[in-house]
Amino acid sequence: MTRDDSRIRQLGQALEAAERILFITGAGLSADSGLPTYRGLGGLYNGTTAEGLPIEAALSGPMLQRDPALCWKYLAEIGRACHGATPNAGHRAIAELQARKPGCWVLTQNIDGFHRAAGSPAERLIEIHGQLAPLYCQACGREAADAERRLAGPLPPRCDACAGVLRPPVVLFEEMLPVEAVERLRRQQAIGFDLVLAVGTSASFGYILEPLLRCRTAGGFTVEINPATTELAAWVDLHVPGRALDVLPQAIGHISEQ
């Protein structure tokens, strides 16, 4: 048995033993569906945009108000990538585990909707950065369901009723996190988790790192699944090098063998 096989078996045992589980997922999970990450190897936005701006400025709430066409140039790029991709085996493995364990939750930074599409129950899914659909009008609040068609049209997309600029229910840079999602996370953290796994994320935001630290402080088990060794590796009990679409199905396979 190789060292990596041993780690996957250890992960399977941890998943089998735990009742309260939290998956924290980031762009690395969806990268295996063909979506670009924002940073690091294969990142779409390393450096600045064509306009000479940091991507954080282009994809910000203030930019959407000041220059909606510029903001939508990059929103549409992300949207088209998401519409052209599908969930992978990593998303499906997480959904399968949620079906087996009613105390299994997902906290995702991703806005692609792949967890829902893979079968993760909405009542145990916290989309902390929102999602790309449906679009709605900032002026009158009317919903526009045909997001994919509008991404291929003139930008920014506008409301059919009042010509106001449409936007997705996503958290842009410099905007507040959704209150309902933050409250759901707070309630679940108050209950506590036996096992917290960071999947394809460096957990650079405090609200992403906090569940890991709380779990470890309370005596729980913490895991990172990532092909790279990130700074997070020093904070977890187990680092499993590899892609989630390979690691998670294997780990769940060990559960069924026990």
Q: What is the pLDDT of residue 47?
A: 62
Q: What is the pLDDT of residue 229?
A: 83
CA 235 to chain centre: 20
Q: Has 83 been annotated as catalytic?
A: no
Residues of the chain with pLDDT > 90, as a percent, come to: 70
Q: What's the start-to-end Cα distance of the chain, in Å? A: 17
Q: What is the pLDDT of residue 254?
A: 82
Distance CA 137, CA 167 (A): 6
Q: What is the pLDDT of residue 228?
A: 85
Q: What is the pLDDT of residue 119?
A: 97
Of 251, 245, 257, 229, the closest CA to residue 40 belongs to: 229
**Which is more confidently placed, 1 or 217?**
217
What is the average pLDDT value for the chain, to the nearest integer? 90
Of 96, 110, 89, 87, the closest CA to residue 28 belongs to: 110
- C-alpha dihedral, 32 to 36 to 42 to 47, nearest 10°: -160
pLDDT, tens only, 38-83? 554 344 555 678 888 888 899 999 999 999 999 999 899 888 888 8
Of 72, 241, 218, the closest CA to residue 154 belongs to: 72
Residue whose entry in the numeric block shows the structure tokens 């977890």: 236
Mean local confidence (pLDDT), 109-136: 95
Domain extents in the chain: 1-34+87-133+176-258, 36-84+135-167
pLDDT, tens only, 178-235? 999 999 999 999 999 999 999 998 777 888 889 999 999 999 999 999 998 888 888 8
Mean local confidence (pLDDT), 146-162: 91
**Which is more confidently placed, 2 or 29?**
29
**Spatial contact of 223 and 15, defined as CB atoms under 8 Å apart:** no
Q: Pick the catalytic residue from 83, 91, 115, 129.
A: 129
Distance CA 173, CA 71 (A): 11
Q: What is the pLDDT of residue 255?
A: 82
Alpha helices in 84-205 (DSSP H): 89-100, 114-118, 147-151, 179-191
Q: What is the pLDDT of residue 1?
A: 55
Distance CA 157, CA 46 (A): 27
Distance CA 45, CA 47 (A): 6
Q: For 36-84+135-167, CATH number?
A: 3.30.1600.10
CA 41 to chain centre: 17
CATH of 1-34+87-133+176-258, picked from 3.40.50.2000, 3.40.50.620, 3.40.640.10, 3.40.50.1220, is 3.40.50.1220
pLDDT, tens only, 76-88? 988 888 887 899 9
